């Protein structure tokens, strides 16, 4: 991943994301997780330095890794869209899984119970705090939240990254 981030991208976010997919697809296939890839054409972004590509890849890699390790999901939807009409223009990346969601395990009785918790209230490990630090480093906003409040499952990671066009 680090080597991929140093390759020239010609300010092409779509290429960076496609490379990430190429690297992750075998792990997702082995885990039996379907990946729905809904990535819109993103215009040339300025500046799109190797450091920003690396931070973005690492944020997404951590999000995918969390699904693989903790979610027991069968499906991940990756949506990437350009919002040039917003001020400032931004790229929105949303990764949603259909796994067990943001759960906290408590003990009691026979084996404990699971309860929903707000992602902000959940004690964050290094992975989530690293994701937040990386997002901040590139000027992006990161939200981690339940994917569907009604159904009680899944997690949504939303990254909004203000970007300028050349």
Provide the pLDDT confidence category of residue 2 given band limits of 50, 70 and 90: very low
Asked whether residue 111 is assigned to any structural domain, the reply reads no
23-65 pLDDT, tens digit each = 999 999 999 999 999 998 877 766 566 778 888 889 999 999 9
**Confidence check: pLDDT of 103 > 90:** no
Provide the pLDDT confidence category of residue 148 given band limits of 50, 70 and 90: confident
How far apart are alpha carbons 132 and 125 in whole angstroms? 11
64-93 pLDDT, tens digit each = 999 999 999 999 999 999 998 878 889 999
pLDDT at 101: 84
Asked whether residue 142 is assigned to any structural domain, the reply reads yes
Enclosing H/E stretch for 25: helix 13-31
**Into how many domains does the chain fold?**
1
pLDDT at 153: 81
pLDDT at 44: 72
Catalogue the E-assigned strands of 33-163. 34-39, 75-83, 90-97, 103-106, 113-116, 141-148, 153-162
Asked whether residue 112 is assigned to any structural domain, the reply reads no
Asked whether residue 14 is assigned to any structural domain, the reply reads yes
Which has more confidence, 112 or 133? 133
Which of 44, 37, 82, 31 has its CA nearest to residue 60? Answer: 37
Structure tokens at 76: 């991940």
pLDDT at 86: 76
CATH of the domain at 7: 3.30.565.10
16-30 pLDDT, tens digit each = 888 889 999 999 999
Which of 43, 33, 37 has its CA nearest to residue 19? Answer: 37
Q: Which residues form the domain of 146?
A: 2-106+119-162
């Amino acid at each position: 991943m680090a080597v991929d981030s140093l390759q020239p991208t010609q300010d092409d976010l779509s290429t960076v994301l496609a490379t990430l997919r190429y690297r992750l697809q075998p792990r997702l296939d082995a885990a039996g997780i379907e990946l729905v890839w809904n990535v819109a054409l993103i215009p040339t972004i300025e500046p799109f330095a190797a450091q920003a590509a690396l931070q973005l890849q690492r944020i997404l890699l951590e999000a995918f890794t969390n699904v693989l390790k903790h979610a027991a999901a069968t499906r991940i939807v990756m949506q990437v869209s350009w919002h040039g009409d917003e001020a400032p223009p931004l790229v929105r990346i949303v990764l949603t899984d259909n796994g067990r969601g943001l759960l906290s395990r408590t003990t009691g009785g026979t084996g404990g119970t699971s309860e929903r918790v707000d992602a902000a209230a959940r004690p964050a490990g290094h992975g989530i705090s690293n994701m937040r630090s990386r997002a901040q480093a590139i000027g992006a906003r990161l939200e981690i939240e339940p994917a569907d409040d009604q159904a009680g499952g899944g997690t949504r990671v939303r990254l909004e990254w203000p970007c300028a066009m050349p």
